[in-house]
Amino acid sequence: MSTRTNAAGGPGLLTDRYELTMLASFIADGSVGRQAVFEAFARRLPVGRRYGVVAGLGRLVPLLHDFRFDADEVAWLLDERVIDAATADYLRAFRFNGTIEAIPEGELYFPGTPVVTVAGTLGECIVLETLVLSVLNHDSAIASAAARMVTAAGGRPEDGGRALIEMGSRRTHEEAAVATARAAYIAGFASTSNLAAGYRHGIPTVGTAAHAFTLAHDSELDAFRSQVRAHGPGTSLLVDTYDIPTGIRNAVTAAREAGATGPGAIRIDSGDLAEEAWRARALLDELGAADTRITVTSDLDEYVITALQDAPIDGYGAGTRVATGSGHPTAGMVYKLVAIEQPDGTMRPVAKKARDKASVGGRKTVWRVFDDDGAIVQELHVPGSTEVPERLRGTRHESPQVTVVREGVVQHVPTIEESRRTCAAALAALSPHERDVTDGEPVVVPTVLLPAPQEA
């Protein structure tokens, strides 16, 4: 067994071996070029979740565009006996030339919603499975959890809520940290501590200091003076290394020496956060630092943030819980074959029948029905037709699916700001009850599967 510790490999190798096991068999039996349709969807939402937020398309589409197998990778696959010579030839020439439709990034999804539909040859569709699910499952889980935290914080700052900072980099894989920051920002977080996320995606970055910074100085006041000299009095000072009231007094002193009434913000990372925030606010006001903001951190999630709603807190820093999906680190999506080409060129619906893991055959168009306030009240899945179903006449309806890749050519990759606005609008259309962060059932009535036109 050979190892290549310094070779990261390209997107093509972000694939489970069984995808290439199937591909080699399709090549051998001649079915590799048959047209096929696959759908990625979640059979159910994580327990207690009322909705899911689609995220990851902005990362996935570029990865699929670059999905290749270079000479070294193919040689390694041959050396490891993962593939045979015929499959090696196929992979050397591999390019995805199919079509991908998707629910837009930032939109809501529900049990059974075809989040991504991949159509192309059997061979090119099958090898994409692992990458599609890897990106969608991670990013959608993070965005869904982050959206709940934004709701708990009273919404986004521009809507009167309290700012949320994504701070999960040290609690996950280094690349997952960047994806986490991106998904959380789409869901409504205001900023991230991760510089790579800021550089790659344009997300605002923020940062204060660690307790080690204070401990490295001869005194807490010396530490605060150093930070203020370097970053100005508008910086945020961590005040709980020793004693919070003393820390606040030292923070105000350091800011006053620089000509300000107080620091831009203080951060509290320990203790009873609600109680400490009330005490901090009273002391800051007493010291004449009424404009100094209070930010709290320390294992925050949507439940803790909800419990802190009445405290005088201006911002929250969420780390571990947002980076791990707040107890649900995967969206649970699957990628299933729903249609396969027949010898006469027609597409035959196929479906898995296994108990508790059944799928629904046929390529489906999604239609959503809205009430007068713009809230989704029903979702229809129509196999085999893109025509507006007769039952929707006279209703407010639309199909949210968009074509992101057509015949191998990328049509549109939304900017992160577009996805962020999409998510804001989708969440705003939910009622307060439907946005409640307590455990509950999915907010939409069960999806309705209409018969294909030829079966009607």
Tens of pLDDT, residue by residue over 300-344, are 999 999 999 999 999 999 999 999 999 999 999 999 999 999 999
Q: Are residues 348 and 282 in the same domain?
A: no
Work out the average pLDDT over 143-164: 95
Residue indicated by tokens 């020793």: 242
Of 259, 276, 291, the residue that ends a domain is 291
How far is C-alpha 358 from the geometric centre of its chain's CA atoms?
A: 26
pLDDT recorded at residue 358: 75
In a domain, 378, yes or no: yes
Is 303 a member of any domain?
no
Tell me the C-alpha to C-alpha distance, in Å, between residue 188 and each of 166, 281, 436: 10, 26, 16
Mean pLDDT throughout 385-412?
91
Say yes or no: 281 and 383 in one domain: no
Q: Which of 25, 134, 32 is nearest to 82 (CA)?
A: 25
Q: Are residues 354 and 421 in the same domain?
A: yes
Please tell me the predicted confidence (pLDDT) of residue 446. Answer: 46
Provide mean pLDDT across the span 229-252: 98
Question: Which of 256, 291, 326 is a domain's end point?
Answer: 291
Q: Which of 257, 291, 325 is the last residue of a domain?
A: 291
In a domain, residue 85? The reply is: no
Tokens 């940062």 locate to: 207
Nearest Cα neighbor of 93 from 66, 70, 117 is 70
- The 3-state DSSP class for residue 96 equals coil
**Average pLDDT, rounded, for the chain:** 93
Res. 4: pLDDT tops 80:
no
Same-domain pairing of 286 and 376:
no
Residues 354 and 435 in one domain: yes
Q: Which amino acid is at 313?
A: I
**Average pLDDT rounded to a whole number, residues 141-146:** 98
Contacts of 88 by beta carbon, 8 Å cutoff, 6+ apart: 74, 77, 78
**What are the Cα distances from residue 453, in Å, to 345, 382, 388?**
18, 9, 11
Res 125 pLDDT > 60: yes
Q: What CATH number is attached to the domain comprising 126?
A: 3.20.140.10
Q: Write down the pLDDT at residue 444.
A: 59
What is the domain extent for residue 286? 210-291
Q: Is 95 left (phi over 0), alpha (psi -120 to 50) or beta?
A: beta
At 270, which CATH number? 3.20.20.70
Strand order in the sheet with 99-102: 347-349, 333-341, 35-42, 116-121, 99-102, 402-406, 409-410
Position 319 in a domain: no
Query: Looking at the predicted structure, is the pLDDT value of residue 196 above 80?
Result: yes
- Predicted pLDDT of residue 8: 58
Distance CA 443, CA 437 (A): 12
Mean pLDDT confidence for 231-247: 97
**Cα gap 155→424, rounded to integer Å:** 9
Q: What are phi and psi of 77, to 5 degrees?
A: -60, -40
350 and 435 in a single domain? The answer is: yes
In a domain, 278, yes or no: yes
Mean per-residue pLDDT for 386-406?
91
Provide the pLDDT for residue 354. Answer: 77
Query: How many domains does the chain fold into?
Result: 2
Cα distance between residue 59 and residue 15, in whole Å: 16
Task: Read off the DSSP letter of residue 442.
Answer: -
Average pLDDT (289-293) is 98
Per-residue pLDDT band for 456 (boundaries 50, 70, 90) equals very low
Residue 374 in any domain: the answer is yes
Cβ contact 333:139 at 8 Å: no
Q: Per-residue pLDDT for 363 more than 80?
A: yes
> Is the per-residue pLDDT at 377 higher than 90?
no
**287 and 391 together in one domain:** no
Residue 400, in any domain of the structure: yes
Q: Which residue has the tokens 């059979």?
A: 43
Tell me the pLDDT band of 454, cut-offs 50, 70 and 90: very low
Question: CA nearest 64: which of 405, 330, 335?
Answer: 405
- Examine the domain organization and report whether 284 and 359 are in the same domain: no
What pLDDT is attached to residue 360?
84
pLDDT at residue 451, rounded to an integer: 60
What is residue 131's three-state secondary structure? helix
Report whether pLDDT(262) > 70: yes
Decide if 312 is inside a domain: no
How many Cβ atoms are within 10 Å of 219's Cβ, its own excluded?
A: 11
Does residue 158 or residue 197 have the better pLDDT? 197
- Give the residue among 166, 235, 221 at the shortest CA–CA distance from 195: 166
Q: Is the pLDDT of residue 452 over 70?
A: no
